């Protein structure tokens, strides 16, 4: 058990809940794609604004009820999990006393693991492998038994890896990261991300690059293109993908996509015309 957890009885309790669930196995796994996200990604009633990620993320209820809002509201019970695909706008409701959850995602080339209750968030890091590969498999796995097996495998690996806990010595980095996640659909730039730190620009840029291993401009572009690539693979048009990822036009996305991947967006499955999937929560392409 990591030292940061041993110092707090509430943290010990969450760790033990994770360990028990890893031994028992998860009961069920749901998956939300981009079209399952919030219809209107504006601030709602959660502890943080609605957001999307450029990577797959995992939410597991350890105890009580854990509420996640997308196009519909999902109340996860103990042992139930939700896989959130890239580009899915969602919002986490505040935990009520007695409710705890575990989250797994990817940040700055590492796998981040999180524990939540109604009072605190405990954040840790482990190596990206093998978690990234398992989560990528979950994006395409439709067999319920194999889904449960992959999620349970992730939980057991976290227990064995003894995650290094991070209590955000630099909360300014978290503010910049949160601003980026919350605004990927808007045409923000690297300077806007730096300003979110409320520090001097030079110091904020150094902190950002030290954590992410690249500057905010590059991180923005990589995140947007990763989401766009997934949206295109899920059947969204180039125009709808550009709108959802903060590109000013379909042409801007096409140019950036060619520079990054060497192929047009259509090679990822998108088209230049038509309408997005029927459940697209953002709207018709321009």
Each domain of the chain, given as residue ranges in start order, spans: 3-166, 171-268
- Yes or no: say if 166 and 5 are a contact pair by the CB < 8 Å rule: no
Domain covering 171-268 in this structure, CATH number:
1.10.10.60
The pLDDT, as a whole number, for residue 167 is 58
47-100 pLDDT tens trace = 778 999 999 999 999 999 999 999 999 999 999 999 999 999 999 999 999 999
Please give the average pLDDT of every successive group of 10 residues along the chain, which has 286 residues. 67 92 98 92 74 95 97 97 97 95 92 92 90 97 98 95 71 90 92 95 94 93 96 94 94 96 86 50 33
């Amino acid at each position: 058990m990591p030292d940061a957890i041993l110092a707090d009885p509430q943290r010990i309790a969450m760790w033990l809940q994770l360990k028990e669930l890893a031994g028992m196995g998860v009961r069920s796994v749901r998956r939300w794609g981009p079209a399952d996200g919030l219809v209107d990604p504006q601030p709602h009633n959660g502890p943080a604004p609605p957001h999307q990620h450029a990577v797959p993320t995992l939410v597991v209820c350890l105890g009580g009820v854990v509420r996640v809002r997308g196009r519909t509201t999902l109340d996860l019970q103990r042992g139930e999990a939700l896989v959130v695909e890239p580009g899915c706008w969602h919002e986490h409701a505040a935990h009520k006393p007695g409710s705890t959850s575990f989250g797994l995602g990817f940040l700055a080339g590492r796998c981040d693991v999180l524990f939540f209750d109604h009072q605190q968030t405990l954040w840790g890091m482990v190596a990206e492998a093998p978690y990234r590969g398992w989560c990528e498999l979950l994006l395409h796995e439709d067999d319920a038994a194999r889904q449960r097996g992959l999620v349970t495998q992730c939980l057991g690996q976290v227990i064995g890896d003894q995650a290094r806990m991070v209590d955000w010595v630099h909360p300014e980095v978290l503010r910049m990261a949160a601003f980026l996640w919350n605004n990927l659909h808007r045409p923000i730039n690297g300077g806007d991300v730096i300003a979110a730190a409320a520090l001097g620009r030079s110091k904020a840029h150094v902190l950002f690059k030290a954590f992410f291993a690249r500057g905010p401009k590059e991180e923005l572009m990589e995140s947007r293109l990763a989401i766009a690539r997934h949206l295109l693979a899920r059947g969204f048009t180039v125009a709808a993908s550009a709108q959802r990822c903060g590109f000013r036009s379909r042409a801007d996305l096409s140019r950036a996509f060619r520079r990054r991947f060497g192929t047009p967006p259509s090679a990822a499955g998108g088209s230049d015309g038509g309408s997005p999937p029927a459940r697209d929560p953002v709207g018709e392409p321009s």
